[in-house]
Structure 1
Amino acid sequence: MSITLTTWSLEQTAPTDLRPSRTPEGDGLAITRAEVPSAEFSRFLYTAVGGDIRWNDRLGLTYKEWQAIVEKPGAEIWVAYDRGTPAGYVELDPQDDGVVEIVYFGLIAAFRGRGIGGHLLTEGVRRAWDLADRWPGREETKRVWLHTCSLDGPHAMANYERRGFRLYDTKVEEVAESENPGPWPGAYA
């Protein structure tokens, strides 16, 4: 069976494009860079955040392939913690010519709808813009981009636009419908 999938590509071309969100109220929210490259932690975040929204493009990767992703010079994972518990993450992928892609961004289902997503995206975009400050020899960031699709959460596109991202491409295609893997096998059975 196939479904119609719409993919939107969005970008910022200057740090001043970022429109920060408000900081969620309450104590205990922290956003921290995962400085030790860990394939296990990266895969945990990927499945915990994307399992219920059909993220499956990385599920077939080997340990070595996951480790290569997290060890790429300039690649960073920023994690939101709510009172010590991982709530979501932003994964940054440095590319040529001062471009940084936000490859993955999202929250674990239990943390959605609490204002954490706008704050996490704001911090992730700030870290994309100042990536060269942490990576000697890295070219200054000139563009930050991402893509989202019709399978992502219902508030994803609005969050990106509120943070100052502008749409620059739309692609519509028929794709095979994939099974919803959940964060672990049988989680939604």
Structure 2
Amino acid sequence: MKTVLTKTTYLEMRAPRQTDSSPPADARSAGFRVENWHPLEVARYRWLYNSVGGDWNWGDRNRMAEHELAAILADPLVEVHVLHVDGEPAGFAELDRRQPNEVELAYFGLFPAFIGRGLGKAF
């Protein structure tokens, strides 16, 4: 079996950012919309996860047992927000609020066709 080295990077934000977070003009005109997908079934989540993370070798949620992932997704303190552009899913962000006084951005990314369009800045 081939081994792939994985590097995980964490960012801690201690204060709100001081920059403009409004969507770029082309995103606003393209029907930029974010939806909270809760409840979310495992198969649909894995489709999002693999669509965004496949090219980046994301794998930990694929190795997780289905019942474990289902329990995480069912938790009201875990939110999966899906970016839509012109009604089409374009990316997702997963927020984990299970630790008191913390919000972890567990996963964040765009589908390959939407990378490079400035959509991640506002999303």
TM-score of the alignment, normalized to the shorter chain, above 0.5: yes
May I ask how many residue pairs the two structures share in their alignment?
A: 119
Greater relative contact order (CA < 8 Å, ≥ 6 in sequence): 1
- Taking structure 1 as reference, are residues 110 and 95 closer, same or farther at Cα in structure 2, changes over 3 Å only? same
Give the structure 2 partner of residue 19 of structure 1: 19
- The correspondence for 1:103, drawn from 103, 106, 109, is 106
Question: Identity, % of aligned pairs?
Answer: 35
- The correspondence for 2:65, drawn from 47, 62, 72, is 62
| 1:40 aligns to 2:71 (yes or no) | no
Q: Which aligned pairs between 1:128-147 and structure 2 lie closer than 5 A?
A: none
| Aligned residues of 2:78 and 2:98 also touching (Cα < 8 A) | no
* CA distance, structure 1, for counterparts of residue 62 and residue 109 of structure 2: 17
SS in 1 for 2:97: strand
Give the alignment's TM-score, normalised by structure 1: 0.57
- Taking structure 1 as reference, are residues 19 and 100 closer, same or farther at Cα in structure 2, changes over 3 Å only? same
Give the alignment's TM-score, normalised by structure 2: 0.84
Deviation at 1:40, TM superposition (A): 1.9
- Taking structure 1 as reference, are residues 2 and 44 closer, same or farther at Cα in structure 2, changes over 3 Å only? closer
* CA distance, structure 1, for counterparts of residue 41 and residue 19 of structure 2: 31
* CA distance, structure 2, for counterparts of residue 102 and residue 92 of structure 1: 5
* CA distance, structure 1, for counterparts of residue 18 and residue 55 of structure 2: 28
| Aligned residues of 1:32 and 1:80 also touching (Cα < 8 A) | yes
RMSD across aligned positions (CA) = 2.0
| 1:115 aligns to 2:115 (yes or no) | no
Q: As a proportion of its length, which structure holds more strand?
A: 1
| 1:10 aligns to 2:11 (yes or no) | yes
Structure 2 residue ranges without an equivalent (≥5): none
Give the structure 2 partner of residue 31 of structure 1: 34
